[in-house]
Amino acid sequence: MEIIKKYETFFNDYLNNNCIEKEPNNLYEPINYILSIGGKRLRPLVILMSADVLGDKLKDALPAALSVEIFHNFTLMHDDIMDNAPLRRGQTTVHEKWDVNTAILSGDTMLVQSYKCLEKYSNTPQLYTLLSSVLSKTAIEVCEGQQYDIDFVNQNTITIEDYIKMITLKTAVLVACAFKMGAIIAGVTDKTATNLYEFGKNLGIAFQLQDDYLDTFGDSTLVGKQTGGDIIENKKTYLYIKSLQELEKDKSEELFELFQTTPKNPEAKIERAKQLFEESGSVVSLKQTIDKYTKLALQNLKELDIAKEKKAPFEKFAQELMFRNK
């Protein structure tokens, strides 16, 4: 995304200069490994943008940006263990490259390290307390979201409200946290920081719902992976939940049974699931819900008590995020 790309080199240089090179190697090498294989760096770059645009505090925001990036990758490392995932960003996951015990311990270390990054602000006690408080609240919520996601595996009746709550906690609140931390470092009012948090949360919900759509109906050459991954893994996404609610009984039962199977060649399963999703109207419903949360985010942006020219980068970010192909 062009609007935050200008911060990428700045952040990566800081990340590389703060690699954890200690012994035992088998504790710290997995940490540097997962941080090195990239990703969008969405959350740390959002912190840098917010601090820069709102208060010209780009350099001051680097420790918080690193904190959130380390925390995010800690959650991914542990998620991969729970999901028994072999790949992360196209590379071997930590628990596969090393072992499960190493991944657990390295992940635990990353969680602590994310808080140590915030100690850079300890000479300003109020700022340090505010940032630590926001991260702590978010950390607990992310764990709650992960538990809801795990619970869904064994639940046959899940509502759209349940699903929105889960992705809000598991995904959206960390995006919101990033916006708020940047705002706090910039020194804006509590009201502005809260409105920016809500902007990030609603945008994060729309972002995850858009991911759900792209996973199933995106162009694989643009998405960079085979479409239908959620179907292959029998994930209970918005499309699946809404389709079960809207289809006639026989087709609803067919979809339910389809998501109990794991065929060696999943192409036929993917195509049939996509047909049922479209027939149920869940695709249209999903797009409407994405639009709803995007509009809510933009409304939060309108309510920000800042100059119009300072709102423009956030609006551009929202547009780039929601009109992407991958």
Per-residue pLDDT tens digits for 259-301:
999 999 999 999 999 999 999 999 999 999 999 999 999 999 9
pLDDT value of position 219: 73
Within a domain: 178: no
**Which pair of structure tokens corresponds to residue 236?**
């209970």
Question: Which residue's structure tokens are 């000479």?
Answer: 123
pLDDT value of position 220: 59
Within a domain: 65: yes
Radius of gyration for the alpha carbons in the chain, expressed in angstroms and rounded:
20
Within a domain: 127: yes
- Is the pLDDT assigned to residue 187 strictly greater than 60? yes
Angle at 73 between CA 35 and CA 51, to 5 degrees: 85
Within a domain: 168: no
27, with CB counted inside 10 A (0-12, 13-18, 19+), is middle
20, with CB counted inside 10 A (0-12, 13-18, 19+), is middle
**For residues 10-29, average pLDDT:** 91
Within a domain: 171: no
Do residue 134 and residue 206 come from a single domain?
no
Among residues 154, 181, 213, the one where a domain terminates is: 154
pLDDT value of position 90: 83
Do residue 3 and residue 143 come from a single domain?
yes
**Cα dihedral 305, 307, 182, 300 sign:** positive
Virtual torsion, Cα 16, 121, 105, 165, nearest 10 deg:
-100
Within a domain: 161: no
**For residues 72-86, average pLDDT:** 93
Within a domain: 165: no
Do residue 145 and residue 220 come from a single domain?
no
How far apart (Å, rounded) are the C-alpha atoms in residues 121 and 185?
10
pLDDT tens digits for range 21-46:
789 999 999 999 999 997 889 999 99
% pLDDT > 70, the chain: 97
Can you name the residues that pair with 88 across neighbouring β-strands?
91
pLDDT tens digits for range 112-154:
999 999 999 999 999 999 999 999 999 999 999 999 999 998 8
- The shares of helix, strand and coil residues in the chain, as percent rounded to the nearest 5, are 75, 0, 20
Do residue 105 and residue 234 come from a single domain?
no
φ, ψ dihedrals at 86, nearest 5°: -85, -25
- C-alpha distances (whole Å) from 259 to each of 79, 213, 262, 263, 270 are 21, 17, 8, 10, 10
Q: Cβ distance 241 to 158 under 8 Å?
A: yes
Q: Cβ distance 186 to 51 under 8 Å?
A: yes
Do residue 138 and residue 250 come from a single domain?
no
**Could you give the number of structural domains in the chain?**
2
Do residue 136 and residue 35 come from a single domain?
yes
Q: What pLDDT band is residue 226 in, cutting at 50, 70 and 90?
A: low
User: What CATH number is given to the structural domain containing 228?
Assistant: 1.10.600.10
pLDDT tens digits for range 164-180:
999 999 999 999 999 99
pLDDT tens digits for range 151-165:
998 898 999 999 999
68, with CB counted inside 10 A (0-12, 13-18, 19+), is buried
Question: Which residue's structure tokens are 């035992």?
Answer: 24
Quick one: which H or E segment has residue 88? strand 87-88
pLDDT value of position 231: 95
Do residue 132 and residue 21 come from a single domain?
yes
Count CB atoms within 10 A of the CB of residue 177. 29
Lowest mean pLDDT: which of 46-55, 100-109, 216-225?
Answer: 216-225
% pLDDT > 90, the chain: 87
pLDDT value of position 325: 56
Do residue 64 and residue 135 come from a single domain?
yes
Do residue 7 and residue 137 come from a single domain?
yes
Mean of all residue pLDDT scores within the chain: 94
pTM over 0.85: yes
The domain of 1 spans 1-154
Q: Cβ distance 81 to 95 under 8 Å?
A: yes
- Is the pLDDT assigned to residue 87 strictly greater than 90? no
Do residue 136 and residue 210 come from a single domain?
no
How far apart (Å, rounded) are the C-alpha atoms in residues 54 and 182?
8
Do residue 140 and residue 209 come from a single domain?
no
Do residue 94 and residue 194 come from a single domain?
no
pLDDT value of position 84: 87
Within a domain: 148: yes
